Amino acid sequence: MKGPAIFLAQFASAEAPFNSFPAICKWAGELGYKGIQIPSWESSLFDLKQAADSKTYCDELQGIAADNGLQISELSTHLQGQLIAVAPAFDELFDGFADTSVRGNPKARQAWATDQLMLAAKASENLGLKAHATFSGALLWHTFYPWPARPAGLVESGFEELGKRWTPILNAFDEAGVDVCYEIHPGEDLHDGATFERFLSEVSNHPRANILYDPSHFVLQQLDYLAFIDIYHERIKAFHVKDAEFNPNGRSGVYGGFQSWVDRPGRFRSTGDGQVDFISIFSKFAQYGYDGWAVIEWECCLKHPQQGAAEGAPFIEHHMIQTTDKAFDDFAGAGTDDAANRRLLGIE
C-alpha cells in the first residue's frame, strides 16, 4: 500500500494556498502527505486537455509534486463520469457539472463527458498512473426503491445501456494501461456489490472495470464493508479513507428524512471520528496484497476541512501495515525433514 495521499477536490478554491498547483502541493507536502489525487475539472490546478496532449506538461506537474515530496496518485473524473449516464429527472440538476457549451443538451453533454474520460485515459498514461477514480453515472437511481413498481425489463435495459456507454471508454483506458475505478456510491447505478456485478456482466467482465472502495458509503447503506473486501478485493484498485456514522432514531433512518447532513442519522465524519473499523480494513488490504494508494477524502459535517486534512496523514500512516515475510512461530520450527514427517504420519 502507498500513502498517505489526499483528494484535493474538497480543498481547491480561489483562496491561497488552494488556488494553484504549486501552492496546494506545498500545503499537502507540509502536512505529511506523499500523494495527491487530482480533480481533473479544477482548471486552477490542472488542465486535462493539455495533460492528454503534452507529456512535457505532465512531466512538469510531476516535477512540482516531487519538489514537495509528493506523487500524483490518480486523476479523478467524478463529475464527468456522472454525466456519462443521467436520467431525465436529473438533467437540470447535473447540468452544472458540464461545460457551458453543452448545458441543456443531454446528448451533447454525454458526448462531452465521454470525450473528457478519453482525455483522462491519455492524461493518466502520460502521467504514468495505474488507476483512475470516477463515477458510473445513473439511469436507474431514481427507481432504487421499487414504488411504483418498476416495469419488467427496466433494470436490464438500464444496465445494458450503461455497459454500451462505458465499453469504449474502458477500452481506451485498457490501451493506456490504466484501471477505471468506479466509486461505489449511492446516487450511482453502481452503488453496491450486486449492481457492480450487473455492470460487469454488461461489459464482459472487462479487466479495466474496477472499484474505488470507500467504506463511508457502505455504513450509510448498512452494507457489510469488511465482507465486501473479501468478495471484491481482486477488483479494488483505489481506496478513499473516509469515515461515517449511522445512528438511527425514532424519526428517521437510512433515507435521512430530507434533513441536512448534520441532522441525518447517517452522516460523514472526519477520518477517525466515525464508526468505520479502519484497523480491520487496513488488515484486510494487507492480507490481500492491496498495492494502491490510501487517499484521505475529507467530507465532514462538523469538523473544519483543514483540521481534517492535518489529522489525515498521520491517521493513514498509523494504520498502514508493513506486511511480514516471517511467521511469528518461526523460532520454534524444526526445519524440513521428509523422513521424519512420514514417520510422524505413520507412512511407510
32-42 average pLDDT score: 98
Q: Note if the bond before 248 is cis, omega within 30 degrees.
A: no
Q: What is the pLDDT, as a whole number, of residue 63?
A: 98
Instruction: Show Cβ contacts of residue 236 under 8 Å, excluding neighbours closer than 6 positions.
Output: 210, 211, 212, 213, 229, 290, 292
pTM: 0.95
Q: Give the CATH number for residue 285.
A: 3.20.20.150
Tell me how far apart the alpha carbons of residues 276 and 224 are, in angstroms, rounded to a whole number.
11
Q: What is the pLDDT of residues 40-82, one digit of tens each?
A: 999 999 999 999 999 999 999 999 999 999 999 999 999 999 9
User: For residue 325, what pLDDT is reported?
Assistant: 78
Confidence check: pLDDT of 286 > 80: yes
CA distance 190 to 134: 11
Q: How many domains does the chain have?
A: 1
Residues with Cβ within 8 Å of residue 26, at least 6 apart in sequence: 17, 68
Question: Count of alpha carbons within 13 Å of 126, Cβ hemisphere only?
Answer: 23
> Length of the chain in residues, anyone?
348
Query: Residue 324 pLDDT more than 90?
Result: no
pLDDT, tens only, 143-201: 999 999 999 999 999 999 999 999 999 999 999 999 999 999 999 999 999 999 999 99
Low-confidence winner among 275-279, 319-323, 340-344 (lowest mean pLDDT):
340-344
The C-alpha atoms of residue 179 and residue 234 are separated, in whole angstroms, by 12
Taking the CA atoms of the chain, what radius of gyration do you get in angstroms? 22
Structure confidence by residue, pLDDT tens digits, 115-145: 999 999 999 999 999 999 999 999 999 999 9
Domain interval for residue 50: 2-344
